[in-house]
Structure 1
Amino acid sequence: MSLDALFDPRSVAVVGASANPAKWGYWLASGALAGRRRRTVHLVNQRGGALDGVPFLPDLGAVPTPPEHVVVAVPPPQVRSVVVDGLAAGARCFTVITSGGSDPAEERELAALVTAHGGRLLGPNCMGVVDTTTELRLSWGDFPAGSVGLVSQSGSLALEIGRLLARAGQGFSRFVSLGNQRDIDAADALDALIGHEGTRVVAAYIEDFRDGRRLARTLTAAYAAGKPVLLLTLGRSAASGRAAASHTGALVSARAVVAAVCRDAGALLTESAGELADTAVLLAAAGERIGRLPIPRTDRAGGRPAPPRPLRVSVVGDSGGQGALAADALVSRGLDVPVLDEPTRIAVAAHLAGRAGGGNPVDLAGAGEADLRNYARIARALLEAGDTDATVLTGYFGDYATANPAQAGLECGVARELGEAARKAGRVLVVHTMARDTPALAVLREHGVPVYERIEQAATALAHAARLPCTPPQPPAALPRRSPGRRVADGAYESVRELLAAHGLAFPVAEFVTTADGAADAARRRTGYPLALKAMGLAHKSEAGGVALGIADEAALRAAFARMGAATGATRYAVERMAVHPYSVELIAGVRYDPAFGPVVMVGLGGVTAELHADTALALAPLTPGRARELLLSLRHAALLTGWRGAQPVDLDAAADALCALARAAVEHPELAELEVNPLLVHSGGALALDAHGVLRGRQVYGRSAVR
């Protein structure tokens, strides 16, 4: 359903309005009155009174015309009756500020009542909504106008972000405080920002992802619409607080899942309110130019994607020290400050005095003081040359008129030239300056040049922007219906092995036994020698002495069986044919069910050192073979798979198929909270699962065979 009544209603009624500035009702009422040129405003308070010449009405029944949007700021026991009255009066949208007093069931019932009448509900327990493009201010606090749309589960954090944006000459197009999300949730609010003409950058602080896959589709849609999304979240969730029942559980954190979703959807995950605001300023000012940066992200030569080329940055500093520190800040964040091409060095040096050279960083060495126009000349030479993607000007520019007001006109003119040079070249220009709130800085911002007070802000914003993908991301695949086959009874190796084999995973020949005689018979009939003996029913058998490898004959098998029985007390064992392949690599592959995002696939370097390496890649299940292959090649140690130092490369297609089969099994069996193969032995001839186990939902860890 449309959210037009939320952001641009024809009429608003504030129930709980107040003339006391210490009360929420005052800020909601005064904010509503600020937009009365655009809409009708009614103020309701059963005790009477007035604000700014507008009398308070006793209840919604006294409102002369139907209020399209009702803001509810009354004590908890009165909320339901106000909503009922609002629906009777014809309201289509409710923003419920009230917090406390209502249990979740009552809140859900309230939302159901509103939606059953074709309406929408924001909250309860929210801070309100602001749309600076429609003069709607239904919240407490100041919200500077700008082109950043924010959806937040924290009102105070929104105020902080707003102040940071304001200091940089930016602000909000829209702000939505989600509250308890009983109806309008993060995906709804973000969808509304994507289609909003006044919003250039979308930002969100989300703690509770609810339907994570729907949100992932929204993030993908935002990228497709040219609206970059900046996400800020916590590093904790119910999933991450649960004790890990497997290697997969230990290696897949809630934040890692969010990071993977953002990567695949084209969104940027930030670490703080400051990072979010700084990056939003850059993207709002120069987002179109950043989207056109010619940064080749992949090179398919040899069948393996090359790492993305770093964003190349040229630096112009008023002093050698400032330029060098700027270069250090950029390089430490993964950006490149390259040597300039000879023609560019010559073009830059033409505007420098004395022995100053045209290196990178460029040291102005007084050229700016000699003639302010040199700032524009040198920046233009760098922007038009094309050997770098962005230029950072660091130092004093913007502050000359503070010391000498006679230079105000000239400095503003140079600022205008800088902005025009960046626009004409189609490249990014960023200014770091010790000045603050001067006319020249205002001119820079008007011409799409972001300005920062600290060089690390500029460097971080550029580094985040450089992570935007060049190719449109694909929305997550829909989850297929559950398999009509039988549910997995337990997570033990036998059961999981049978399940995965049915989905196409290959395992060594094996037989499960309870006695030493049975083991010897299995070796004669099925596996041959050498073989592996593994005790069933233990969580970590390697440490407990529950695995023996390379058993060469029956005598060694019986001896191993006796030792293992004494050490583990196991009553059931697996006798497996040894799998030995030259140039093989052990991987770990797992799927963990995330409460928000559903099944999440993890692949990484495996075996007993899986947690030590912590070299993993994540994606939402199910997978396509192409996506599975990309995950494998994104590992830090992917060179081990493609032929490290002359080794034979593994069969990547077989490895990818194994990942797809594992993901498919997990998707079709949601009764499994975790499903894991470790190790998955990949080699030039295929992929072989050497161990597997699962964890049923609501259960403790089930017995699994040890990794080897």
Structure 2
Amino acid sequence: MSLDALFDPRSVAVVGASADPAKWGYWLASGALAGRSRRQVHLVNQRGGSLDGVPFLPDLAALPAVAEHVVVAVPPRQVRPVVVAGLAAGARCFTVITSGGADPAEERELAALVTAHGGRLLGPNCMGVVDTTTELRLSWGDFPAGSVGLVSQSGNLALEIGRLLGRAGQGFSRFVSLGNQRDIDAADALECLVAHDATRVLAAYVEDFRDGRRLARTLAAARAAGKPVLLLTLGRSAASGRAAASHTGALVSARAVVEAVCRDAGAVLLDSAGELVDTAVLLAASRPESGRAGRPLGAGRVAVVGDSGGQGALAADALVARGLDVPVLEPGTRAAVEAHLRGRTGGCANPVDLAGAGEADLHSYARVARALLDGGDTDATLLTGYFGDYATANPGQAAQECEVARELGEAARASGRLLVVHTMARDTPALAELRRQGVPVYERVEQAATALAHLARPERTAAGPPPALPGRPSGPPLTDGGYETVRALLSSHGLGFPAAAFVTTADEAADAARRRTGYPLVLKAMGLAHKTEAGGVALGIADEPALRAAFARMRAATGAGRFAVEAMAVHPQAVELIAGVRHDPAFGPVAMVGLGGVTAELHADTALALAPLTPPRARALLLSLRHAPLLTGWRGAPPVDLEAAAEALCALTRAAAGHPELAELEVNPLLVHPGGALALDAHGVLT
């Protein structure tokens, strides 16, 4: 259902309007009245009164015309009657500010009532909605206009982001406070921002991802539309507090899942409001055109120019520490820079040191910056140091400094590349002019470096929208997650295992060794999640007496009633991996692969992606591991069969995606070697 009535209604009614500036109803009403040149505004308060000459009506039934969008700021017990009255009067959208009083079931019933009548509900427990392009301000606080669209589950965080944006010369195109997300959720709001021409950068603070796969599709769609997405969420400080029924459960945290989703969708996951604003300001200033060399515009290679050798060197260090490149300039670019320094002793290799050229002639800043931008050696240029502060010491230089600021902006636009300014100045006319020209300005060089790093990162990592899940289960639900059951499931999906038999007595074990597996073999006790730690695995059993002795010891140690007799798999140059799938409440099945065996958690070298996997995606995950050189041929060793390893991951993820009753499904170890891939153990955890 459309959200046009949310962002640009023909008419608005504020129920709970007030003339008291200390109350929410005042800010909602005064904000609504600010847009009355564009739409009809009705104010409702059963006690009467007025604001700015507009009388308060007693109820929605008294309105002279239908209110398309109704803002509800009344005590909790009055919310439902107001919504019912609004629906009866023909309202299409409700923004419910009220918090407290209603339990989740009542809130869901309220949302169902609205949607059943073809309407939409924002909230409850939200801070409202703002669209600066349609003069809609239905919220508390000030929201500067700009090109950043924000979706947030925290109202105060939105206010902080707004103030920081305002100080940086940016602001909001739209702001949506999600509240409890009983109807309109983060994906709904972000989809509208993707389609909104005035929104250049999407930002979101989300605590509850609801339908995570839909949100992931929205993030990927935003990237495809050229709209970068910046995301804040929780979970850096803990692994979400779940019990680890498997290695997979211990290695796949909620935060790690979100990181993987953002990586594949091309969104940028951030850690603070300040970092979000710094990156948003840069993204809003960036242009989607290609550079002159035909490469997509990014920020991976940066030229640094400053009027202080120390600041230039520190800026270069900050950039390199964040994974960016500060390359030596090509001879042609160096010559162009040197021509503008007029024989001064400044360095020209990168960083470029103006060495007093700026003090002698302010226009040197623009000329050198233009040479770097036009040179094509780099994707972005960082100007660091004193520029913007000359007029503070000498007011007579104000006009000239502003003129140079305009020249800097023109140089950036003409080159199609990024210019970023770090300065020790604050709130000077030249800085205001730079911002008007679309040049991002930062007070600390680490802010500029971090923002440039975030701009460059999605260019290297985006993999596309999330994979589709099967429409129905791939077979009857599993009734247990033991090795025998899980092995049969995974084998049916094409995953290879050593020859094996399942037995209950020592005689049966000896017979299985003679008829099926041969020696050496492995004996495993069934029914244990971590067999090795519990004494439930015996390796390299060479003959029948050793088998019978191991069987007796294992039965006494574990109390198991059923055992697997399995051929011993030994492959030279093999690497042990762990591969698993965990069902995330928001995102569904999540695939994990990493260095495996009993030290899986010690290494913690893992890569995640939403399941099921395709062979190219599985191969990319394997190669993204820190220890990937072990797979591709470390120190002269032959490479493992990456295609077989990738197909093994695909088989595992297909099986898990087709069995939603499995909370976790794991193979550990998955033995990959130059000749193929073989699963040596597996188990599942039922929901």
TM over 0.5: yes
Q: Is the 8 A contact 2:5 2:68 kept in 1?
A: yes
Query: Which residue of structure 2 aligns with residue 704 of structure 1?
Result: none
Mapping for residues 442-591 of structure 1, pairs under 5 Å: 442-469=432-459, 473-483=463-473, 485-591=475-581
Q: Distance in 1 between matches of 2:674 and 2:605?
A: 21
Partners of 2:141 and 2:473 in 1: CA distance: 52
- Deviation at residue 472 of structure 1 after TM alignment: 7.1
The equivalent of 1:631 in structure 2 is 621
Between stretches 638-647 and 63-72, larger displacement belongs to: 638-647
Give the letter aligned to residue 308 of structure 2.
S
- The match for 1:414 among 404, 409, 413 is 404
CA contact (8 A) 2:290 2:296 kept: no
Residues 600 and 619 in structure 1, CA contact (< 8 A), matched pair in contact too: yes
1:65-104 aligned within 5 A:
65-104=65-104
Q: Which amino acid aligns with 2:258?
A: V
Aligned amino acid, residue 53 of structure 1: G
Could you tell which deviates more after superposition, 396-405 or 277-286? 396-405
| Contact 1:289–1:428 (CA under 8 A) maintained in structure 2 | no
Greater alpha carbon shift after TM alignment, 26-35 vs 542-551: 542-551
Equivalent residue in structure 2 for 1:361, among 342, 345, 351: 351
Paired position in structure 2 for 1:688 = 678
Identity, % of aligned positions: 83
Q: Scaled by the length of structure 2, what TM-score is found? A: 0.97
Question: 1:113 & 1:81 partners in 2: Cα distance?
Answer: 12
Match of 1:191 in 2: 191
Give the secondary-structure state (helix, strand or coil) at the position aligned to 1:142: coil
Which residue does the alignment assign to 1:152?
152
In the alignment, is the contact (CA less than 8 A) between 1:452 and 1:458 conserved in 2?
A: yes
Instruction: Specify whether residues 283 and 29 from structure 1 end up closer, same or farther in structure 2 by C-alpha distance, changes over 3 A only.
Output: same
Deviations 1:447-500 (A, max 9, x none): 221111111110000000001236974322221123352211101111111111
Match of 2:53 in 1: 53
Counterpart of 1:703 in structure 2 is none
Which residue matches 1:306?
none
1:252 Cα deviation after fit = 0.6
For residue 76 of structure 1, report the CA deviation from its aligned partner.
0.5
Tell me by how many angstroms 1:538 deviates: 2.2
- Measure, in 2, the Cα distance between the counterparts of 1:122 and 1:292: 46
Q: Is the 8 A contact 1:239 1:594 kept in 2?
A: no
| 1:584 Cα offset (Å) | 1.1
1:177 deviation in Å? 0.2
Tell me, in whole angstroms, the C-alpha distance in 1 between the residues paired with 2:293 and 2:127. 38
Equivalent residues of 1:523, 1:575 under 8 A apart: yes
User: In 2, Cα distance between the equivalents of 1:461 and 1:471?
Assistant: 16
Other-structure match for 1:323: 312
Structure 1 residue 605: Cα displacement = 1.0
CA spacing shift, 1:331–1:295, aligned 2, 3 Å = farther
* 1:551-588 residue CA offsets vs partner (Å, 9 max, x unmatched): 11112222222322333232222111001111111111
Distance 1:521 1:292, change over 3 A: farther
Q: Relative to structure 2, which stretch is displaced further, 452-461 or 624-633? A: 624-633
Quote how far apart the aligned CAs of 1:515 are. 2.1
Rounded Cα–Cα distance in structure 2 between residues aligned with 1:471 and 1:607 = 28
Aligned partner of 1:345 in structure 2 is 334
Pair 1:278–1:689, CA change in 2 (3 A): same
Quote the residue 1:664 is aligned against.
654
Q: Can you list the C-alpha shifts for 1:82-106, whole angstroms capped at 9, x where unaligned?
A: 1111112211111000000011111
For 1:8 and 1:22, the matched residues in 2 are separated by 27
Aligned residue in 1 for 2:301: 312
Residue 382 in structure 1 maps to residue 401 in structure 2 = no
Counterpart amino acid of residue 418 in structure 1:
L
Maintained 8 Å contact 1:496/1:692:
yes
- Given that 2:299 and 2:380 are in contact with CA atoms closer than 8 Å, whether structure 1 keeps it comes out as no
Letter in 2 for 1:592: R
Give the drift of 1:62: 1.0
Partner-residue secondary structure (3-state), 1:256: helix
- How big is the shift at 1:286? 1.3
Deviation at 1:358, TM superposition (A): 1.0
- Following superposition of structure 1 onto structure 2, how do residues 23-34 of structure 1 map, counting pairs within 5 Å? 23-34=23-34
The runs of 5 or more residues in structure 2 that have no matched partner are: none
C-alpha distance in 2 between matches for 1:267 and 1:653: 29
Q: What amino acid sits opposite 1:88 in the alignment?
A: A
Rounded Cα–Cα distance in structure 2 between residues aligned with 1:647 and 1:218: 43
State the one-letter code of the partner of 1:240. Answer: S
Which stretch has the larger CA shift, 69-78 or 354-363? 354-363
Q: For 2:122 and 2:189, locate their aligned partners in 1 and report how far apart those are by CA, in whole Å.
A: 10
Cα deviation, 1:633-668, whole Å, max 9, x if unaligned, reads 111211111112221111111111111111111111
Structure 1 distance, partners of 2:449, 2:239, is 34
- The answer to whether 1:274 aligns with 2:264 is no
1:636-655 correspondence runs (5 A): 636-655=626-645
Q: Deviations over 1:591-637 (max 9, x none)?
A: 00000000011111111111111111111111111111111111121
Query: 1:220 Cα deviation (Å)?
Result: 1.0
Partner residue, 1:286: 286
Structure 2 distance, partners of 1:294, 1:390, is: 15
1:369 deviation in Å? 0.6
| Distance (Å, rounded) in 2 between the aligned partners of 1:387 and 1:585 | 41
CA distance in 2, matches of 1:551, 1:291: 64
Aligned-pair CA distance for 1:241? 2.3
Moved more, 351-360 or 496-505: 351-360
Matched residue of 1:662: which SS? helix
Aligned-partner residue type, residue 122 of structure 2 = L
> Relative to structure 1, is the Cα distance of residues 293 and 536 closer, same or farther in structure 2, using a 3 angstrom cutoff?
farther
Partner-residue secondary structure (3-state), 2:175: strand
State how many pairs are aligned.
Answer: 686
Q: Residue in 1 aligned with 2:594?
A: 604
- 2:217 corresponds to which residue? 217
Residue type of the alignment partner of 1:359: A
* 1:170 counterpart = 2:165: no
Q: Determine the C-alpha separation between the residues in 2 that align with 1:293 and 1:485.
A: 53
Q: Residue 487 of structure 1 aligns to a residue in which SS? A: coil
- Answer whether contact 1:401 1:411 (CA < 8 A) is retained: yes
Give the Cα–Cα distance (whole angstroms) in 2 for the partners of residues 636 and 471 of structure 1: 16
3-state SS of paired residue (2:364): helix
CA 1:198–1:629 in structure 2 vs 1: closer, same or farther (change >3 Å)?
same
Letter in 1 for 2:109: E
Against the structure 1 CA distance between its residues 484 and 247, is the aligned structure 2 distance closer, same or farther, given a 3 Å change threshold?
closer
Displacement of 1:290 after TM fit? 8.1
- Closer, same or farther: CA 580–243 of 1 in aligned 2, 3 Å: same
3-state SS of the aligned residue for 2:669?
A: strand
Report the CA distance between 1:291 and its aligned residue: 8.9
Letter in 2 for 1:317: G
Deviations 1:520-562 (A, max 9, x none): 2211111111111112222322122221111111122222223
Amino acid corresponding to residue 361 of structure 1 in structure 2: P
| Distance (whole Å) between structure 2 residues aligned to residue 452 and residue 289 of structure 1 | 24
User: What CA deviation, in whole Å up to 9, does each residue of 1:659-687 have, x standing for no partner?
Assistant: 11111111111110000000111112111
Taking structure 1 as the reference length, the TM-score comes to 0.94
Amino acid at match of 1:31: G
Distance 1:459 1:467 in 2: 12
C-alpha contact (below 8 Å) 2:12/2:70 kept by paired residues:
yes
Shift of 1:137: 0.5
